[in-house]
Chains A and B, each alone.
Chain A
Amino acid sequence: MQSTLLDSAGDEAPKPNVHSLLNEEATNEELASEKREWNDNELFIRQAFVENPSQGCALLFRRYHKILCSHAVRFVYSKDIAEDLVSDVFCRFWKTKAYETVTSSYRLYLFRSVRNEALNYLRWEFKETETIELAEYRESPRGQQPDHATQYEEVVKKVEELVNTLPPQCQKVFLMSRFEGKKYQEIADEMALSLKTVEAHLGKALSIMRNGLKNHL
């Protein structure tokens, strides 16, 4: 039973490694030297996809949703946007049947897609020069946009620096509005500020973000 499942899981399926199956996370370190170690972690999910793709998707979601959101929020600094981006990636994963064609680990595929989506989103929001054509076609998730993978970390670093440099009051308003998704009025009430002041803080924060990110997107 198990061996037939493994055969049909595709070329990339690793040889069954009972030891690693039993200790998924714990053996990470010691298996690091094995080239295909990464697949073992996902073996159960891979098997689920063979039997019932929608179950496989749900398992993937369960496993990666939290960390993907946490990763995406480093780019976009908004819970709602981060969760929307991640949900979109999972929905597309199902719609396009990407699980049938993906040759890497699901983890790599999902992280890469979410990073691309997050970067696209930032460009769309903060880069004035983007043409409508670009705004309309979204990148294929397989496409490695920046020349170097570490550029994503550069963008995250820049975003974090910019948010850090906002004046305290401005930063507080920015995080309440953007990260927590609070309405202007709620922020004004909570911080005992006028609506105009809240707007001014946000305007300032966004213009700092826009200027700061200009050369990084």
Chain B
Amino acid sequence: MKQDISKELIFSHFAHKSSPLQRKMIDEWLQIEANEEQYFAWLEEWEQTHPQYLPQSELALENYEAFLEANPHTHLQAELAASEPVVSSNRRYWFRWLAAASVVLVLGGVGWLFRGSLLYQTYQTAFGETKSLLLPDGSKVTLNANSLLRLPRFGFGTKNREVFLKGEASFSVTHTPDHQKFVVKTNKQFEVVVLGTEFSVYARQRISKVVLSKGKVQVRYQQGRTQKQIVLTPGDLVTLDRENNMDKKAVSHPQNYAAWEQKRFVFEETSLQDVAYLLQENYGLEVEIKDKDLSERVIMGSFRAENVDQLLQSISELLDISVVRQGNRVQLSDK
């Protein structure tokens, strides 16, 4: 086979030195599978000579070998996979779908065509909107702004009580006679398991939080490749950062973390930077704080605001700063 695309060209492409025309040529060349094989062979060679860092493969290999040993292939694998508690990890949902799909295939063979909207009920709030929901099992959920809750249409309350949350919500969970667990799953590699209780879950990009006001809950989370869990008692606040590093502390007024339910905002030494995050997450505003000192100033107190403009007004008065809003952009600066 004639080589119309040279290794030099591909290497310069890997080095980000290809022109748009060259990339077009490469894309056309890649339509042929054998060429794609060649592309990845060269990519392997490129990575070998231009490593970004040197991973510790030995430990990873040990983990992998342990995984292989712990997950032998058997005939019952599909059924086992379906009943196995799957770690609530964003990246692991794929497994779950595979497991779910294989069971459905056994049962009927056509079910998977109708997954998605038919199997799940989805509630979603826009920026600045909150919504109260009564779930089929009698539990109450209040969704904060820019959040989403999904639950199965069928079997909820009888088979299991599992919901999926993205964003922030406050839960008041009913206790069932058969002590059925209520599980809040998130795509942030953690889940909350409860029996009957009141708590808030906050699962956004920047950070995740769980605050318990009544009862007892268990937070299961993934750190690295190990699954950990922690039991909360009332007044506990657990935060998980992006790397899922866990921090637990006691707060005196756990209900303040659900103050948004009453359109109240409670700030306890909250930095303006954190308020800016709140404005971004709940109202979709892009907040710019003019200087660093200002972003570190803290706000104390509790006040009511019907909408975001009232909130901005209050912040402006409280800190005596100028707040300029243009559409979705807000500028905070010293007067």
**A interface residues with partner B (beta carbon < 8 Å):** 28, 32-38, 41, 53-54, 57-58, 61-62, 64-67, 69-71, 73-74, 79-80, 82-88, 90-92, 94-97, 104-105, 107-108, 111-112, 117, 120-121, 124-125, 132-133, 135-138, 148-150, 153-154, 156-157, 160, 179, 181, 183-184, 194, 196-197, 199-200, 203
User: Top 3 nearest A-B pairs by Cβ distance?
Assistant: A138-B94, A69-B55, A67-B47
Docked-complex contact B295 and A196, CB < 8 angstroms: yes
Docked-complex contact A108 and B68, CB < 8 angstroms: no
Q: Which of B36-44, B210-218, B323-331 contacts A (4 or more CB under 8 A)?
A: B36-44
- In the bound assembly, the distance between CA atoms of A112 and B11 in angstroms comes to 18
Docked-complex contact A57 and B40, CB < 8 angstroms: no
Given contacts A69-B55, A84-B91, 14 further A-B contacts (CB under 8 A): A36-B34, A57-B64, A58-B61, A62-B57, A70-B51, A70-B52, A70-B53, A82-B55, A108-B40, A137-B93, A137-B94, A137-B97, A149-B26, A183-B245
Contacts of A41 in B (CB 8 A): 41
Of B67, B68, B166, which one neighbours A135 at CB under 8 angstroms? B166
Q: Closest residue to A62 on the B side, CB-wise?
A: B61
- In the bound assembly, the distance between CA atoms of A114 and B164 in angstroms comes to 26
- Among A57, A69, A97, find the residue whose CB has the most chain B CB atoms closer than 10 A: A69
Q: Closest residue to A38 on the B side, CB-wise?
A: B37
- In the bound assembly, the distance between CA atoms of A23 and B71 in angstroms comes to 35
Q: A57-B64, A71-B47, A149-B36 are in contact. Are A132 and B3 (CB under 8 A)?
A: no
Interface size on B, residues (CB 8 A): 69
Docked-complex contact A111 and B243, CB < 8 angstroms: no
Q: A79-B53, A132-B148, A199-B273 are in contact. Are A138 and B64 (CB under 8 A)?
A: no
> Closest CB of chain A to B242's CB: distance in Å?
8
Q: A107-B41, A138-B91, A203-B273 are in contact. Are A57 and B68 (CB under 8 A)?
A: yes
Docked-complex contact B13 and A153, CB < 8 angstroms: yes
Check B180 for interface membership: any CB of A closer than 8 A.
Answer: no
Docked-complex contact A67 and B91, CB < 8 angstroms: no
Interface string of B270-292 (1 = CB under 8 A from A): 01010001000000000000001
Docked-complex contact B64 and A107, CB < 8 angstroms: no
- Among B36, B52, B243, B271, find the residue whose CB has the most chain A CB atoms closer than 10 A: B52
Check B1 for interface membership: any CB of A closer than 8 A.
Answer: yes
Q: A70-B55, A153-B14 are in contact. Are A196 and B1 (CB under 8 A)?
A: no
> Closest CB of chain B to A103's CB: distance in Å?
9
Docked-complex contact A83 and B60, CB < 8 angstroms: yes
Q: A57-B64, A84-B91 are in contact. Are A73 and B245 (CB under 8 A)?
A: no
Docked-complex contact B38 and A32, CB < 8 angstroms: yes
- In the bound assembly, the distance between CA atoms of A136 and B57 in angstroms comes to 29
Check B269 for interface membership: any CB of A closer than 8 A.
Answer: no
> Closest CB of chain A to B236's CB: distance in Å?
21
- In the bound assembly, the distance between CA atoms of A66 and B245 in angstroms comes to 26
Of B45, B51, B55, B292, which one neighbours A200 at CB under 8 angstroms? B292
Contacts of A125 in B (CB 8 A): 205
Q: A66-B51, A104-B37, A121-B91 are in contact. Are A150 and B23 (CB under 8 A)?
A: yes
Docked-complex contact A132 and B166, CB < 8 angstroms: yes
Using a CB-CB cutoff of 8 Å, which residues 14-47 of chain B contact chain A?
14, 16, 18, 23, 26-27, 30, 33-34, 36-41, 43-45, 47
Offer 10 A-B interface pairs, CB within 8 angstroms, sorted by A: A33-B1, A38-B40, A62-B57, A65-B60, A80-B224, A91-B71, A108-B37, A150-B27, A194-B296, A197-B292
> Closest CB of chain B to A54's CB: distance in Å?
4
Docked-complex contact B26 and A150, CB < 8 angstroms: yes
Of A67, A79, A112, A183, which one neighbours B44 at CB under 8 angstroms? A67
Check B73 for interface membership: any CB of A closer than 8 A.
Answer: yes
- In the bound assembly, the distance between CA atoms of A54 and B91 in angstroms comes to 23
Q: Closest residue to B223 on the A side, CB-wise?
A: A80
Check B150 for interface membership: any CB of A closer than 8 A.
Answer: yes
Contacts of A138 in B (CB 8 A): 91, 93-94, 97
- In the bound assembly, the distance between CA atoms of A68 and B150 in angstroms comes to 35
- Among A80, A132, A183, find the residue whose CB has the most chain B CB atoms closer than 10 A: A132
Q: A87-B60, A132-B122 are in contact. Are A35 and B34 (CB under 8 A)?
A: yes
- In the bound assembly, the distance between CA atoms of A54 and B111 in angstroms comes to 32
Docked-complex contact A66 and B94, CB < 8 angstroms: no
- Among A64, A82, A83, A183, find the residue whose CB has the most chain B CB atoms closer than 10 A: A83
- In the bound assembly, the distance between CA atoms of A56 and B16 in angstroms comes to 34
- In the bound assembly, the distance between CA atoms of A92 and B89 in angstroms comes to 14
Check B65 for interface membership: any CB of A closer than 8 A.
Answer: yes
